[in-house]
Amino acid sequence: MCGEHQHEWPKLSPLSTGIRGLCPRCGKGKIFDGFLTLKKACPACGLNLAFADPADGPAFFVICFGCIPSVAFACWFEVVYGPAFWMHLVTSLPLVLITCIPPLRPLKGWLVNSQYFHKAEEGRLVVEQKV
């Protein structure tokens, strides 16, 4: 709700808006303030982003699908060719950096937008109150 006007927000795909770092509600405002820091609210629609906590999710996906294959390549390269140290600096190090750093932001955006889309919240205990 914005002022006195009630908005009907479209159902936006968490994947399409998340990987571009856009607001999960309006799809217009940017949700990042810096490389991985989330803004407090969407500048376009005012959505409070305090609900968003992807924790270590982006890092987990990057480690599983980026770091492990690139380190496996570096190990294979070492075992098969036994190159000089400088060869790892020009092959393995850039590969590890390219497969690990750039995917973090799109993955975090996707996870934040998925939390909004699926209305994910922190778990709470349900306690019966006696009257």
Residue 74 in any domain: the answer is yes
Lowest average pLDDT, out of 3-12, 34-43, 120-129, goes to: 3-12
Asked whether the beta carbons of 116 and 50 are under 8 A apart, the reply is: no
For residue 92, give its domain range.
Answer: 14-117
What's the number of domains the chain is made of? 1
Q: How confident is the model at residue 120 (pLDDT cuts 50, 70, 90)?
A: confident
pTM for this structure? 0.82
Angle at alpha carbon of residue 50, lines to 44 and 56, rounded to 5°: 115
Q: How confident is the model at residue 55 (pLDDT cuts 50, 70, 90)?
A: confident
Asked whether the beta carbons of 81 and 13 are under 8 A apart, the reply is: no
Residue 6 in any domain: the answer is no
Residue 4 is predicted with a pLDDT of: 45
